[in-house]
Structure 1
Amino acid sequence: MARQLEEAFFAEDDPQLRAEILRLMGQLNMPPTATLVGRAKSDDDPSVRIQLCHLLAKSPPGSATEVLAELALNDTDQDVRQAAIKALGKLPDPHARQVLAKLLRNRDPAIQYLAVQSLKQITGKDFGLDFKQWEAYVNSNSSAEDGQPALAEKTSPRY
């Protein structure tokens, strides 16, 4: 079935139908192939790229994070960027956190807000709109992802 949907995606001229195929793949929990992702992320129609973001949000971290990061940072369509930022908030990946922290420096308040919301979702923390505190948290916890406690969480042997 996944192969048939992928073939239909490549053969389809209508961007709305291509987007619908990606949506269906997401509903059926079908992981996309690298070829499909490559084609969808460069599709001329933003609705296809948005559906790709939704599909990748259900995928394992790794290559999904890379594609979403590229779309969040570089896509020319604001709605695609926002969909990618929301999708990054669903991937438990240290690289996703780094990308979201980078987006806090964006000049667009909507992008900043969505980056904070996604960071809240990933981390379970809430520093409000304090961007400096978010960045410090993300940077200090990059080593904690390796199983090492963050400096603030380490206990002193004297106590």
Structure 2
Amino acid sequence: MHRLTPLAILATCALLAGCHDGPLFALKTINPVYRSQWAEDEKLGPTDAQRLEELQRLVASMPSLSDADQEYWLKHIEAILENDKNPEMRTHAIRALAGCRNSRVIDLCETQMTDESIKVRMAVCDVLGTRDESRSTQLLATTIGSESNEDVQMAAIAAVGKHRSPEAAQALKASLRSRNPAVRVACVESLGQCTGKDLGDDPQVWVAYLDGKEVDEQKKSFTRQMQDLF
């Protein structure tokens, strides 16, 4: 049975009450600077479950934090992405970036585009989908064209569809000719979202549209009109 040292007791109090560092104190222990303070109590430090819970709280609270607080936690997220071997931690750290207004978010996303974890790369796509900068569109376009994992590629296709720009539409053009029917369908759906047009389900019609040719927009059925209302 482990004996609780004063340091461990203080850590437990901080986790439960928030202490003066706030309710996300456990995240500090991921940072190598803080990890040195736990050398003698490594096994009594925050568990993965506790750290994951803290990250989930951060995901929910990040949008409402001040710019200064976001900058503070961004440093800890960066440390997690660089040092944490647990892909679940890195995935939630990435998801916390979706609510962060700092311009460095895209830098971190670009770095994690090559993460070994499929879940992390999918989370990166989701975050980039919330950013309307042209660089975000470019990163998603690169992922669509180079990603070998279908799930990540599909996540990138869905994400770029949220960018209402000509660049986003062009990013999907090459994949309209994919041999994979699921990829073609996903591209058509995303094109409808990012262009606001309904040109039907034929990928070749969309290719013609992206090439600047005249294409008739389909007349929506009464059922489709009702679906759009809700």
TM-score w.r.t. the length of structure 2 is: 0.57
1:138 and 2:210 equivalent? yes
Q: In structure 2, how many angstroms separate the alpha carbons of the residues matched to 1:38 and 1:138?
A: 27
Give 1:110 deviation, angstroms. Answer: 0.5
Given that 1:120 and 1:126 are in contact with CA atoms closer than 8 Å, whether structure 2 keeps it comes out as yes
Given that 2:122 and 2:152 are in contact with CA atoms closer than 8 Å, whether structure 1 keeps it comes out as yes
Secondary structure of 1:140's aligned partner = coil
1:103 and 2:175 equivalent? yes
Q: 2:128 aligns with which of 56, 67, 91?
A: 56
- Give the AA of the match of 2:157: I
Secondary structure of 2:173's aligned partner = helix
Report what 1:16 is aligned to. 88
- 5+ residue gaps, structure 1, are 142-149, 153-159
Q: In structure 1, how many angstroms separate the alpha carbons of the residues matched to 2:204 and 2:106?
A: 37
Number of corresponding residues: 142
Given that 1:113 and 1:129 are in contact with CA atoms closer than 8 Å, whether structure 2 keeps it comes out as yes
Report what 2:149 is aligned to. 77
Q: 1:46 aligns with which of 113, 118, 137?
A: 118
**Structure 1 segments of 4+ aligned residues over 4 angstroms from their partners:** 28-31
- Closer, same or farther: CA 30–51 of 1 in aligned 2, 3 Å: farther
Q: In structure 1, how many angstroms separate the alpha carbons of the residues matched to 2:151 and 2:128?
A: 16
Given that 2:141 and 2:171 are in contact with CA atoms closer than 8 Å, whether structure 1 keeps it comes out as yes
Could you list the per-position Cα deviations for residues 122-156 of structure 1 after superposition, in whole angstroms to 9, with x for gaps in the alignment?
A: 11111111222211222228xxxxxxxx8x9xxxx
Given that 1:90 and 1:121 are in contact with CA atoms closer than 8 Å, whether structure 2 keeps it comes out as yes
Could you list the per-position Cα deviations for residues 26-46 of structure 1 after superposition, in whole angstroms to 9, with x for gaps in the alignment?
A: 144555142x22321011111
Given that 2:192 and 2:198 are in contact with CA atoms closer than 8 Å, whether structure 1 keeps it comes out as yes
Could you list the per-position Cα deviations for residues 62-98 of structure 1 after superposition, in whole angstroms to 9, with x for gaps in the alignment?
A: 1111111111121111100000000010112322211
Higher mean C-alpha deviation, range 23-32 or range 109-118: 23-32
Residues 108-127 of structure 1 correspond to what in structure 2 (within 5 A)? 108-127=180-199
Secondary structure of 1:17's aligned partner = helix
Q: In structure 2, how many angstroms separate the alpha carbons of the residues matched to 1:124 and 1:38?
A: 28
**Higher helix content, 1 or 2:** 2
CA RMSD of aligned residues (A): 2.0
- Give the AA of the match of 1:95: E
Q: In structure 2, how many angstroms separate the alpha carbons of the residues matched to 1:28 and 1:61?
A: 14
Give 1:16 deviation, angstroms. Answer: 1.3
Higher RCO (C-alpha 8 Å, min separation 6): 1
TM-score w.r.t. the length of structure 1 is: 0.81
